[in-house]
């Protein structure tokens, strides 16, 4: 193992610097070990959309990076335990783990009821909410013991780093009535959309259709999940006067042409955050169906409230995950959710800037980019 702590530190838009930071000693915990830290030698970290937002714009929403107080990026990580804080009970040096990146208070009403993803004092790695909170795009990072989930020897570090986005999928699918024989529609064939589709199949869904505007992404979807149905959506013109009407017409054309069977779509998973996709989901779900909002977009969307009311469409929000890591690890370990092929590009930690440029440029063949000491 290297004894330096090379870290990807973001100062502002396009100002990402590779710095050697201090290797911190893991903190000792209290009597119940809740705050006990372990030190992780990070071996793989995926680049997420939020990392790209900070890299491109230096902000997410109204949370803006302060160059005087920069932040280490990264939250999709796995690694090996390299040191223990005093009081660690369950982990040992050398254990392989997937890191759950959100530290919560365990005391607020939301934590007490088990929805710790909604904790008022959440500190999420590589984010500015209640922060800045340093992330895991580095060689060494400390995390509370209870957030370091053991992974089997048969699971690669690359797959271990995919447990974080898979946990998003598991949490979202668990919040819907997906069961044996269900029909699902997924908007967006990016990493989250693909993992949502795979999780829906694992939970018993019989038919899953995935929408995207990108032909290459849809082609990859069929390679990743051979039985999935893919549909390439048109793009609305930039000067479309009535986007809501366009969204309705687009779905009606798909229904009348037999491409989708609206009255059999039990759940729509919206993974893009794009306004037209959110609107189309409202028109595509069956009567009494469920729409799960996963993607985060510009924050505002015009919705057909009459359709939602008359058809009793149940719209639900989803934010990250709670209690989803163990199930995500189990689904992969049992072969119920495939991960092979999702990581399309790998870079050494020293080549982090090149990795971010690759994600920014995108293009055919780019699905998930990971960085690390593989």
pTM assigned to the model: 0.96
Determine the pLDDT at residue 31.
Answer: 53
DSSP code of residue 121: T
- Reading the chain (374 residues) residue by residue, the pLDDT tens digits are 567 999 999 999 999 999 999 999 999 876 555 679 999 999 999 999 999 999 999 999 899 999 999 999 999 999 999 999 999 999 999 999 999 999 999 999 999 999 999 999 999 999 999 999 999 999 999 999 999 999 999 999 999 999 999 999 999 999 999 999 999 999 999 999 999 999 999 999 999 999 999 999 999 999 999 999 999 999 998 888 899 999 999 999 999 999 999 999 999 999 999 999 999 999 999 999 999 999 998 888 999 999 999 999 999 999 999 999 999 999 999 999 999 999 999 999 999 999 999 999 998 899 999 999 98
Q: What CA–CA distance (Å, rounded) separates 267 from 186?
A: 8
What share of the chain in percent tops pLDDT 70? Answer: 98
Determine the pLDDT at residue 3.
Answer: 74
241 CB contacts (<8 Å, ≥6 apart)? none
Tokens 């898979």, residue located: 166
Asked if residue 178 lies in contact with residue 165, where contact means CB atoms within 8 angstroms, the answer is no
Angle between helices 215-224 and 191-202 (to 10 degrees): 30
SS3 at position 270: strand
Asked if residue 73 lies in contact with residue 137, where contact means CB atoms within 8 angstroms, the answer is yes
User: Residue ranges of the alpha helices (H) in 176-287?
Assistant: 191-202, 215-224, 243-256, 275-284
Cα separation values, 62 from 120, 299, 321, Å: 17, 12, 23
């Amino acid at each position: 193992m290297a004894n330096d702590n090379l870290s990807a530190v973001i100062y502002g838009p396009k100002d990402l610097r590779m710095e050697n930071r201090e290797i911190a000693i893991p903190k000792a915990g209290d009597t119940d070990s809740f705050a006990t830290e372990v030190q992780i030698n990070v071996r793989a970290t995926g680049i997420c959309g939020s990392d790209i937002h900070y890299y491109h714009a230096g902000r997410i929403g109204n949370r803006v990076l302060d160059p005087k107080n920069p932040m280490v990026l990264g939250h999709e990580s796995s690694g090996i335990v390299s040191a223990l804080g005093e009081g660690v009970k369950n982990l040992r040096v050398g254990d392989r783990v997937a890191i759950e990146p959100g530290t919560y208070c365990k005391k607020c009403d939301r934590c007490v009821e088990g929805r710790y993803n909604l904790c008022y004092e959440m500190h999420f790695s590589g984010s500015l909410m209640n922060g800045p909170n340093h992330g895991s795009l580095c060689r060494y990072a400390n995390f509370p013991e209870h957030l370091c989930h053991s992974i089997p020897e048969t699971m690669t570090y690359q797959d271990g780093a995919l447990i974080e986005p898979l946990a998003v999928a598991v949490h979202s699918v668990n919040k819907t009535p997906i069961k044996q024989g269900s029909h699902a529609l997924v908007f967006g064939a990016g990493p989250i959309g693909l993992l949502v589709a795979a999780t829906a199949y694992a939970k018993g869904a019989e038919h899953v259709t995935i929408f995207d505007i990108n032909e290459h992404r849809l082609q990859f979807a069929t390679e990743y999940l051979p039985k999935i149905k893919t549909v390439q959506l048109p793009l609305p013109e930039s000067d479309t006067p009535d986007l809501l009407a366009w969204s309705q017409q687009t779905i009606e054309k798909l229904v009348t042409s037999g491409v989708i069977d609206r009255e059999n779509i039990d759940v729509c998973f919206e993974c893009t955050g794009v306004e037209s996709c959110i609107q189309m989901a409202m028109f595509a779900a069956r009567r009494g169906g469920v729409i799960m909002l996963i993607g985060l977009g510009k924050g505002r969307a015009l919705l057909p409230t009459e359709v939602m009311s008359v058809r009793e469409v149940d719209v639900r929000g989803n934010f990250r995950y709670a209690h989803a890591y163990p199930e995500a690890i189990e689904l992969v370990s049992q072969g119920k959710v495939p991960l092979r092929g999702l990581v399309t590009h790998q870079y050494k930690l020293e080549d982090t800037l090149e990795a971010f440029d690759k994600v920014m440029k995108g293009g055919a063949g780019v699905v998930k980019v990971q960085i690390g000491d593989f």
